[in-house]
Amino acid sequence: MENSTVRTERLELRPVRDDDVDRILEYRNLPQVTRWLLRTQVDPASFRATWRRAAADPDDHSMAATLDGVVIGTVSLKAVDGMGQPGMPPRTEADLGYIFDPAYGGHGYATEAVSAVVAYAIERLGIRRITAGCFADNLASVRILEKVGMRREQHGLGDSWHAELGWVDGYTYALLAETWHREAAPQEQPNALGRP
């Protein structure tokens, strides 16, 4: 695999390893974590197998976010085909998701990690469109998606099943690479003469 380590101001992002899974399981099944997830409780053995499959899948670019060497969350990124007629370039879209340990919540780490993975997907993997779905009432997730520059493309009325709430609304967000370059990519600082 090419060098897929990404450093941000406070975090390092790198592929998820087998020995990360026990650490991830320390928070993955907490009620405040599962509340707005489609896959709620996970059983450790199949969870580990899922991460092993992901590590072996060339289209899976998910990463662990580490703070001072401790895994505090994961950002999943899976390259997929868009829809299209014959001749369409494959694997130009990617689905994005994220789960963070609430013990580290509220410090902007998830936003920092998701922004970095979006930049990685566009700049290093050549992804042209990133999508993410969430329950409409998952306000922290909505906030992250909007802060990283994604746009709400769909508000699905009653399209999503929640184990406690029944049918609730869902959102689909997306971001085109060209929009990201224009509006959300980190801007180069002007030099002393004020020129870009």
Interacting residues with ligand COA (CB under 6 A): 33, 36-37, 97-100, 105-111, 134, 138-141, 143-144
> How near is the Cβ of 149 to ligand COA at its closest, in Å?
14
C-alpha distance from residue 113 to each of 46, 73, 84, 168 (Å)? 25, 9, 31, 28
CB 96, min distance to ligand COA, A: 9
How far apart, in whole angstroms, are the C-alpha atoms of residue 141 and residue 97? 9
Q: Which two tokens stand for residue 59?
A: 């289209």
Please say which residue, 122 or 150, places its beta carbon nearer to ligand COA: 150
Q: Report which of 60, 65, 90 is spatially closest to residue 75, judged by C-alpha positions.
A: 65
Q: Which C-beta is closer to ligand COA: that of 39 or that of 84?
A: 39
Q: Which is nearer to ligand COA, 91 or 162 (CB)?
A: 162
Tokens of 82: 């868009």
- To ligand COA, the closest distance from the beta carbon of 172 in angstroms equals 11
CB of 99 or CB of 119, closer to ligand COA: 99
**Nearest distance from C-beta of residue 56 to ligand COA, angstroms:** 24
- Quick one: how many helices (H) and strands (E) in the chain? 6, 8
Query: Which CB atom, from 33 or from 122, has the smaller least distance to ligand COA?
Result: 33
Tokens of 107: 């410090």
Residues 61, 47: Cα–Cα separation, whole Å? 17
In angstroms, give the least distance from the CB of 84 to ligand COA: 26
Write out the two tokens for 142: 């909505």
Short-list 122, 118, 152, 116, CA closest to 135: 152
